[in-house]
Amino acid sequence: MSNALKDLLFKMADDALVIGHRNSEWTGIGPMLEEDLAFSSMAQDKIGHAQALYKILNEVLGEADADTLAFKREEKQFKCCQFVEQPIGEYDFSIVRQFLFDHAELIRYDMLTQSSFQPLAQLAKKVKGEIKYHVMHADSFVKQLGNGTEESKARLQSSLNYAWHLALGIFEKSEFENELISKNIFAGEDELKKRWLEKTTPIIEAANLKVPATDESKIIYGGRKGFHSEYLKPLLDEMCEVVRTDIDAEW
């Protein structure tokens, strides 16, 4: 069971760490002051979630400490989906990514409140309250921009079309899927995706946008198995630059 748990926790933690770093890149360059602050705040939350997950991996499952897991692993050891690795792009892409990713995260953590693995169930009860506000933020701006000007609607739809098959990569299954389900650790990626589609579809339509057609052959998988986009290694190099100046130092 420990391998199944580790796989689940690593992919969740790595997703949170990487999207947290990406969100932090809006600090100082947001389209308005409120959004500069919002993305900075959400970035802090995500990195805090990653730290909490790494702490469970360390204290309960015998992995290295949180700083080592975050800053001293190689690219191939990361299990984040490729969606979170993408550059922030323009604001329309970042808000669409937040909308799609955070709805998946909120549903995932809500499902995990029922997990048989108590450390994760307890964390989920705390974390989902924070992510709820991230989702409210994304929903608000998706609806405003989708029902705004012709330009804002067109830009949002274009970003949604681009992001869709990347977002579906969130639900890439692991080799431990059946074990997680049978042992009531997590109800599975298919169930998560089903609930995600049920939740996001009416919001997209209320924003006067169209849900992109899904082509299974275009879904971007691989991240959960260590196969990443060209964007992850430069991100890790930047994120870990200070630590790697002296790998054995205590900061």
* One-character DSSP codes across 176-198: THHHHHHTTS---HHHHHHHHHH
Domain assignment present for 154: yes
The answer, yes or no, to whether residue 17 has pLDDT greater than 60, is yes
pLDDT of residue 38: 82
DSSP label of 172: P
Domain assignment present for 114: yes
Burial track 88-100 (b if 16+ CB lie within 10 A, e otherwise): eeebbbbbbbbbb
pLDDT of residue 239: 86
The predicted model gives 72-94 an average pLDDT of 96
pLDDT of residue 250: 59
Q: Where is average pLDDT lowest: 125-129, 220-224, 244-248? A: 244-248
The pLDDT tens digits of the residues spanning 154-164 come to 999 999 999 99
| Residue 34 banded pLDDT, cuts 50, 70, 90 | confident
The answer, yes or no, to whether residue 5 has pLDDT greater than 90, is yes
Nearest Cα to Cα of residue 19 among 100, 73, 74: 100
The single residue listed with the structure tokens 């499902």 is 111
The range of the structural domain enclosing residue 108 comes to: 2-245
Computed on alpha carbons and rounded to an integer, the radius of gyration of the chain in Å comes to: 18
Domain assignment present for 194: yes
**Residues 219 and 169 sit within 8 Å (Cβ to Cβ):** yes
Domain assignment present for 148: yes
Domain assignment present for 40: yes
Nearest Cα to Cα of residue 96 among 45, 132, 141, 129: 141
Number of domains in the chain: 1
Q: How many residues does the chain have?
A: 251
The pTM score is: 0.94
